[in-house]
């Protein structure tokens, strides 16, 4: 088995949620804090294997090359399918979702489903501690689905294409034999923490777990201004 241990910092991979780590010159609101006006730590970064951590953190890299290649393939495949998806009619910024993967180390425990502790671990402890994390099944129901379709006119022909792309994306996740635990994850909401942290740029992810315990899917950001 080929083992990957030489992962490197990859700013381009982190870019889809880089604004979630930007305090937008509001550091004075909470001097010395990692989260003065943002939901992801200002010190956050990501590696080529997808691992998220703080700059300077020492983390283990012991990945199967085959698992890494599979995660990148799956994430790229779903990102291409979902490139025209809008992640919420109410977002003040519309950008295409990007491939997401965090490749497990060899022999890692394999979760069966997502919970808040797992999401915080995937983000390397960089999520604002008081932030609400909502995890729901990746199905056409629940709060996340209401957010996605909210504000769209059901009589608009363009919305048929919009909804079909979402149908196709959700179906893709459930058809992959390598994946389980499919979920949609919302990290943070407006207002985040009105008295202490007025962040308004929040991560949104569609995720699943591989048989080896890696996490793959899509990530993006929404702006609730």
CA torsion through residues 170, 171, 174, 178, sign: negative
CA distances in angstroms from 85 to 82, 89, 172, listed in the order given: 5, 11, 14
Question: Looking at the domain that runs over 3-223, which CATH code has it been given?
Answer: 3.40.1460.10
Domain residue spans of the chain: 3-223
Structure confidence at residue 125 (pLDDT): 98
Q: Is it the case that residue 131 has pLDDT exceeding 90?
A: yes
pTM of the model: 0.93
Do 219 and 16 contact (CB within 8 A), yes or no? yes
Average pLDDT over every residue of 221-225? 85
Q: Is it the case that residue 91 has pLDDT exceeding 80?
A: no
Concatenated DSSP letters of 136-163: EESSS-HHHHHHHHTT--TT-HHHHHHH
Interval 17-53: pLDDT, tens: 999 999 888 888 788 899 999 999 999 999 999 999 9
Interval 143-179: pLDDT, tens: 999 888 775 656 666 677 778 889 999 999 999 999 9
Structure confidence at residue 25 (pLDDT): 86
């Amino acid at each position: 088995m080929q083992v990957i241990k030489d992962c490197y910092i990859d700013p381009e991979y982190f870019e889809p949620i880089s604004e979630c780590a930007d305090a937008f010159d509001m550091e004075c609101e909470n001097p010395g804090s990692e989260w003065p006006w943002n939901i992801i730590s200002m010190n956050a970064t990501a590696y080529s294997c997808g691992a998220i951590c703080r700059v300077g953190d020492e983390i283990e890299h012991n990945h199967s090359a085959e698992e890494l290649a599979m995660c990148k393939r799956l994430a790229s495949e779903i990102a291409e399918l979902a490139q025209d998806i809008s992640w919420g009619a109410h977002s003040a910024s519309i950008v295409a979702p990007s491939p997401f993967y965090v490749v497990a180390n060899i022999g890692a425990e394999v979760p069966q489903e997502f919970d808040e502790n797992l999401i915080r671990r995937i983000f390397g402890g960089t999520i604002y501690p008081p932030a609400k994390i909502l995890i729901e099944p990746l199905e056409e129901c629940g709060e996340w689905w209401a957010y996605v379709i909210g504000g769209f006119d059901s009589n608009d022909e363009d919305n048929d294409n919009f909804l079909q792309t979402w149908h196709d994306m959700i179906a893709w996740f459930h058809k992959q034999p390598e994946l389980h635990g499919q979920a949609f994850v919302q990290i943070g909401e407006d207002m985040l923490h009105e008295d202490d942290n007025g962040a308004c740029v929040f991560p949104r992810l569609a995720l699943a777990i591989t048989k080896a315990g890696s996490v793959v899917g899509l990530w993006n950001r929404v702006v609730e201004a």
